């Protein structure tokens, strides 16, 4: 019998486009490591805000980033980043972090700090005997894993996305974050050539997952129904 392949699934898209919910389900179904890179940017933002380091003070930012130790712990199939041994807390979803994260994420030094760490998640998945990984973010199919086996780009009408975020009870100006994320010089949010673009505006979560799962199943049999 041929060995089970190790597959990499990249899911990119704007704020509240449905990346996290669909990635979590795909990770369970195909026995993959789930990596939410947005949570990493949020965690670094929260850490730097607590230390009083603004995104505009490059020398202080670089010095702080150089000193950070990043490790990974698994919670079920989800990768949790540990910063100097500490996991992320609920504050990474606070209004303050929502408002600030895109400013930090636009700084090349911040992105550089996370680049190798994110690529290293493939080794984490292998070490834990998983069959691959599903990584969600803004630049996964374009920069982190351009050779991923599957690259998806999710988008939805801004009004629908704002409704989704409000239903989660979050104060979040997603249009402003999208504007900053799409217009920055370093790894902007964009649908990379060759990625499968899915408009989720009028689709249920099950329908979005079904489309992606049908493609993935051509390479890897589902681990659960």
Per CB under 6 A, does 37 bind ligand CDP? yes
Query: Given the rule CB under 6 A, which of 25-33, 80-88, 100-108, 199-207 is the region that contacts ligand CDP?
Result: 100-108
CB atoms within 10 A of CB 147: 8
In the complex, least distance from residue 157 CB atom to ligand CDP, rounded to whole angstroms = 15
In the complex, least distance from residue 218 CB atom to ligand CDP, rounded to whole angstroms = 26
Query: Given the rule CB under 6 A, which of 2-10, 38-46, 61-69, 74-82 is the region that contacts ligand CDP?
Result: 38-46
Give the one residue of 55, 132, 137, 141 binding ligand CDP; rule: CB under 6 A.
137
Give the one residue of 38, 146, 158, 192 binding ligand CDP; rule: CB under 6 A.
38
Per CB under 6 A, does 151 bind ligand CDP? no
Query: Given the rule CB under 6 A, which of 15-23, 27-35, 78-86, 205-213 is the region that contacts ligand CDP?
Result: 15-23
Judge whether 137 and 119 are in contact, CB under 8 Å: no
| Residue nearer to ligand CDP on the CB measure, 181 or 220 | 181
Rounded distance, CA 80 to CA 172, Å?
23
In the complex, least distance from residue 97 CB atom to ligand CDP, rounded to whole angstroms = 8
In the complex, least distance from residue 144 CB atom to ligand CDP, rounded to whole angstroms = 7
Per CB under 6 A, does 105 bind ligand CDP? yes
Per CB under 6 A, does 181 bind ligand CDP? yes
Q: Can you give the chain as a three-state secondary structure string?
A: CCCCCCEEEEEEECCCCCHHHHHHHHHHHHCCEEEEHHHHHHHHHHHHHHCCCCCCCHHHHHHHHHHCCEEEEEECCEEEEEECCECCCHHHHCHHHHHHHHHHHCCHHHHHHHHHHHHCHHHHHHHCCCCEEEEEECCHHHHHCCCCCEEEEEECCHHHHHHHHHHCCCCCCHHHHHHHHHHCCCCCCCCCCCCEEEECCCCCHHHHHHHHHHHHCCCCCCCCC
Per CB under 6 A, does 125 bind ligand CDP? no
Per CB under 6 A, does 101 bind ligand CDP? yes
Rounded distance, CA 29 to CA 3, Å?
19
Tokens describing residue 36 = 């939410």
In the complex, least distance from residue 1 CB atom to ligand CDP, rounded to whole angstroms = 36
Give the one residue of 8, 9, 11, 16 binding ligand CDP; rule: CB under 6 A.
16
Interface ranges with ligand CDP (CB under 6 A): 15-16, 20, 37-39, 41-42, 101-102, 105, 137-139, 177, 181
């Amino acid at each position: 019998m041929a060995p089970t392949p190790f597959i990499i699934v990249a899911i990119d898209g704007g704020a509240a486009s449905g990346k996290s919910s669909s990635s979590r389900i795909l990770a369970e179904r195909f026995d993959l490591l789930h990596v939410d890179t947005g949570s990493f940017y949020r965690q670094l933002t929260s850490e730097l805000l607590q230390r009083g380091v603004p995104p505009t003070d490059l020398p202080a930012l670089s010095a702080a980033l150089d000193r950070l130790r990043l490790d990974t712990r698994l919670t079920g199939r989800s990768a949790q980043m540990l910063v100097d041994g500490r996991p992320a807390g609920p504050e990474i979803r606070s209004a303050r972090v929502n408002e600030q994260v895109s400013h930090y994420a636009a700084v090349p030094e911040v992105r550089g700090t996370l680049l190798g760490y994110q690529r290293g998640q493939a080794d984490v998945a292998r070490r834990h005997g998983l069959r691959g990984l599903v990584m969600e973010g803004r630049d996964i199919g374009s920069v982190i894993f351009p050779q991923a086996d599957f690259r998806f780009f999710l988008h939805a009408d801004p009004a629908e996305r704002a409704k989704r975020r409000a239903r989660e009870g979050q104060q979040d100006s997603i249009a402003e974050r999208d504007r900053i994320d799409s217009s920055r010089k370093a790894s902007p949010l964009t649908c990379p050539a060759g990625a499968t673009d899915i408009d989720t505006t009028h689709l249920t979560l099950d329908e979005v997952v079904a489309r992606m799962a049908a493609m993935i199943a051509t390479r890897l049999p589902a681990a659960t129904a």
